[in-house]
Amino acid sequence: MNTLKLGGTDLEISEVGFGGIPIMPLPKTEAVAIIKYCFERGITFFDTANMYLTSEEKIGSALETVRDKVVIATKTTQRDASGAAAHIDTSLKQLKTDWIDIYQFHNVSNKDALEQILAPQGAYEAVCKARDAGKIRFIGISSHSISTAMEALKTDLFQTLQFPFNFIENDPENELFPFACQHNIGIIAMKPLGGGLLERADLCFGFLQQHPHVVPIPGIRANNEADEIIQLYRHPQPLSKSDLKEMKNIQTVLGERFCHRCEYCMPCEQGVQIPSVLIFQSAAKRLSPEGVSAWLGKAMESVAQCIECGQCEEKCPYNLPIADLLKENLALFKEIEERRPPWK
Ligand code: SF4
Ligand code: SF4
């Protein structure tokens, strides 16, 4: 596996990393075995988050003995200093390490969240303190909003950016990623497979390989998935004309219903957690019924509060039929809940 230096950091990482979401529902021994399998085959970059339940603990257990040979990134959803400080200590403990290579502010997708983090007593202060104490090496940010991410990068306070990027969600190519490159900010691509909605890995990684400065972190939950991805990186193939045609078809079909999680539709006055509801279908493909219920169950219940006022649809830059999509995702959630054994 080839390696690269991530932006202006001194972190040398494999050209494809490991995303820590899909290992959440797996039994610990199974998850640990998959992580080790990936490491043994050249993957040296592992991304997780405090929010991903057992993911940090599994990654920590798998990589404890090779800690100095891997780069670990994790995240906090906390926006104030005391909350972030507590999350850092929890992550260090769960990851079984003395340091975190990249500590990211999780899902900073609106102006308020960015302002809270950077305010006096905000989370950024705690992360700087932890960096000065040697607990953190580099500070990063993850976002689903181009405008908020641009604003964040312009502060010059973040060394890495994590953003969704795949051939459906390719907007960052226009302004965000060129800006990050010019400023030597390391780029990590979340959702390289469209959050599980894009089934052809060859197309997804063929697209990403056209952006060699971007490091994708696909979620991997089985050895055969790791094999397929590693093979695509060991023997990259240029996209053919028919591949490009197929990608265009998929863009057309999915593009009209694909939530980019930019949060421009938020907040909903009725409390509907719109982006979380709209990713339910892709999450259900990647997680077990128990895992997806634990993660998104509360968001799905919020759909009952929708009064179909239409305000969210007016704000959505992708013109998504949000009210219909809420109903579709809710129906799928109910179907999965009904199939789930009652004792689980
Ligand atoms: S529904 Fe539209 S505005 Fe809301 S998060 Fe999804 S893409 Fe963005
Ligand atoms: S249509 Fe429903 S989800 Fe959208 S803003 Fe109105 S109440 Fe909220």
Looking at the CA of 110, which ligand is closest? 1
For the ranges 33-42, 54-63, 328-337, which has the lowest average pLDDT? Answer: 328-337
Average pLDDT over residues 212-227: 95
- The pLDDT value given to residue 275: 92
Q: How far apart are CA 128 and CA 118, in angstroms?
A: 11
Q: Does residue 342 have a pLDDT over 70?
A: no
- The owner of tokens 């040697």 is 134
Does residue 308 have its Cβ closer than 6 Å to ligand 2?
A: yes
**Among 64, 88, 58, which Cα is nearest to 74's?**
88
Atom of ligand 2 nearest to the CA of 309: 6
Q: Does residue 151 have a pLDDT over 80?
A: yes
Q: Does residue 339 have a pLDDT over 70?
A: yes
Q: What are phi and psi of 38, to 5 degrees?
A: -65, -45
Sign of CA dihedral 286, 291, 297, 298: negative
Phi/psi region, residue 278 (left: phi>0; alpha: psi -120 to 50; beta: rest), is: alpha
Average pLDDT over residues 187-216: 92
Closest CA to ligand 1's atom 1: 259
Tokens standing for 58?
């599994």
Ligand 2: distance of its center to the CA of 170 in Å? 27
265, 305, 307, best to mutate for ligand 2 pocket (most atoms within 8 Å of CB): 307
- The pLDDT value given to residue 281: 84
Atom of ligand 2 nearest to the CA of 323: 1
279, 302, 320, best to mutate for ligand 1 pocket (most atoms within 8 Å of CB): 320
Does residue 268 have its Cβ closer than 6 Å to ligand 2?
A: yes
Closest CA to ligand 1's atom 3: 316
Does residue 288 have its Cβ closer than 6 Å to ligand 2?
A: no
Does residue 324 have its Cβ closer than 6 Å to ligand 2?
A: no
Average pLDDT over residues 36-55: 96
Q: Which residues are near ligand 1 (CB < 6 Å)? A: 259-265, 274-275, 278, 316, 318, 320, 322
Average pLDDT over residues 146-152: 96
Q: What are phi and psi of 343, to 5 degrees?
A: -80, -5
Q: Summarize pLDDT for 82-119 with one digit per residue, the tens.
A: 999 999 999 999 999 999 999 999 999 889 999 999 99
The pTM assigned to this predicted structure is 0.85
162 close to 140: Cβ distance less than 8 angstroms: yes
260 close to 169: Cβ distance less than 8 angstroms: yes
Q: Does residue 343 have a pLDDT over 60?
A: no
Does residue 323 have its Cβ closer than 6 Å to ligand 2?
A: yes
Tokens standing for 179?
């800006």
- The pLDDT value given to residue 286: 67
Looking at the CA of 323, which ligand is closest? 2
Is 257 or 6 the better-scoring residue by pLDDT? Answer: 6
Q: What percent of the chain has pLDDT over 70?
A: 98
Closest CA to ligand 2's atom 6: 309
